[in-house]
């Protein structure tokens, strides 16, 4: 029921299977007169697309997006914007042999249990290929945020842990993030990860990761109380990304170990008649509403379920089988999750901004 729609006021409804004709979405609730070209969206898609290093899937998809509606003379009209991306490099034959088999860790078996039918080619609707659409919708969200708030908000993410290997926070530098194939802000960790991931990849294995995604310069007062909290919305959105098993805000799970005196962020007046918080355990959100501090969210991504090492499973007749998952897979899906998580955060902030404006009026 509406399981293919995300968002409240700014919302998109998506479609498409990994090996179907195309994937895409209809974005609704877009304000009119926002400048928008296909290339604005393409820039976002290019950050996510496969085949860009040996550490990600080798599937060759241009991820060329086409705007079908809702834009006239490079401006949004206020009507629904349809985006379509044709699938080009399907190799459905890679999947012929699994039509009657369930790959462990995948949704094959749960889809079959639920629907009594599935498009087995490349995982069908459960494939991470769907996430390209989130990134495309995120690009539109970004344009809206910039249009409304004059480029104020900045959303960006990075991988802070790959497998058991964490970054050294002291070495973290945003400038490094786009200089390596891992979206890693610690240049030394990036080198180590490369060696380690190469080994994992050659073994046919895979690994998990932790992503941190932040939003800077978010105005105070954004969010909604009770059941549409900004953090609740972020948890929903990030957990909906394929392979994600955990989401935390600010100090997150570690906050449980603290005392009240340590955990609550004290407030101080500054010299300009304004105020500031000394710490940011809250991750920029109190009572579901932004404090004006940086919003900090982390998500845990499990190791890619498709591996080239033989595993035990069953077929649709519930007979024991051994299975290796061929195809072109990411040894660490967490890497490409960075632009996806950024997109989700952009989408959520845009939706929350429009929700705020619908009730309270323009944010200043």
Q: Which is nearer to a second copy, 175 or 222 (CB)?
A: 222
Coil, strand or helix at 349? helix
Tell me the DSSP string of 79-98.
S-EEEEEE-----THHHHTT
CA distance 237 to 2: 15
Least spacing, CB of residue 275 vs a second copy, in Å? 5
Q: Which residues of 189-212 are buried (b: 16+ CB within 10 A; e: fewer)?
A: bbeebbebbeebbeeebbbbbbbb
Least spacing, CB of residue 141 vs a second copy, in Å? 14
How buried is 238 (Cβ within 10 angstroms: 0-12 exposed, 13-18 middle, 19+ buried)?
Answer: buried
Least spacing, CB of residue 247 vs a second copy, in Å? 6
Least spacing, CB of residue 178 vs a second copy, in Å? 22
Q: Which is nearer to a second copy, 90 or 251 (CB)?
A: 251
Least spacing, CB of residue 130 vs a second copy, in Å? 7
**Which of 274, 306, 287, 135 minimizes the C-alpha distance to 204?**
306
Unique residue bearing structure tokens 């409304």: 148
Q: Which is nearer to a second copy, 177 or 300 (CB)?
A: 300
Q: Residue 245 CA to chain centroid, in angstroms?
A: 13
Q: Which is nearer to a second copy, 11 or 336 (CB)?
A: 11
CA dihedral 236, 85, 334, 118 (to 10 degrees): 70
Least spacing, CB of residue 151 vs a second copy, in Å? 18
Q: Which is nearer to a second copy, 175 or 276 (CB)?
A: 276
Q: Which is nearer to a second copy, 164 or 175 (CB)?
A: 164
């Amino acid at each position: 029921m509406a399981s293919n729609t995300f968002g409240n006021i700014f919302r998109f409804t998506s479609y498409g299977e990994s090996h179907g004709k195309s994937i895409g979405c209809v974005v609704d609730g877009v304000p009119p007169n926002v400048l928008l070209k296909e290339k604005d969206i393409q820039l976002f898609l290019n950050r996510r697309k496969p085949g860009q290093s040996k550490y990600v899937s080798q599937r060759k998809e241009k991820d060329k997006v086409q705007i079908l509606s809702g834009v006239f003379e490079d401006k949004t009209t206020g009507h629904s914007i349809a985006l379509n991306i044709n699938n080009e490099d399907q190799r459905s034959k890679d999947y012929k042999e699994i039509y009657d088999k369930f790959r462990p860790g995948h949704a094959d078996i749960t889809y079959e249990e639920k629907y009594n039918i599935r498009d087995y080619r490349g995982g069908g609707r459960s494939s991470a290929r769907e996430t390209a659409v989130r990134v495309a919708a995120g690009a539109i969200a970004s344009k809206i945020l910039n249009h409304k708030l004059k480029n104020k908000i900045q959303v960006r993410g990075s991988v802070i842990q790959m497998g058991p290997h964490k970054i050294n926070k002291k070495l973290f530098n945003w400038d490094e993030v786009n200089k390596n194939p891992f979206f890693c802000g610690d240049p030394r960790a990036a080198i180590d990860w490369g060696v380690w991931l190469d080994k994992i990849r050659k073994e046919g294995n895979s690994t998990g990761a932790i992503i941190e995604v932040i939003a800077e310069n978010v105005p105070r007062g954004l969010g909604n109380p009770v059941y549409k909290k900004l953090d609740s919305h972020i948890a929903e959105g990030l957990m909906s990304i394929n392979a994600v098993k955990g989401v935390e805000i600010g100090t997150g799970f570690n906050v449980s170990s603290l005392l009240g005196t340590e955990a609550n962020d004290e407030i101080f007046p500054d010299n300009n008649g304004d105020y500031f918080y000394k710490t940011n355990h809250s991750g920029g959100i109190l009572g579901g509403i932004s404090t004006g501090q940086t919003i900090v969210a982390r998500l845990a991504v499990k190791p890619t379920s498709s591996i080239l090492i033989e595993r035990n499973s069953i077929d649709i007749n519930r007979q024991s089988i051994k299975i290796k998952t061929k195809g072109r897979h990411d040894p660490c899906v967490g890497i490409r999750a960075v632009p996806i998580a950024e997109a989700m955060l952009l989408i959520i902030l845009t939706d929350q901004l429009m929700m705020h404006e619908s009730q309270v009026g323009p944010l200043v």
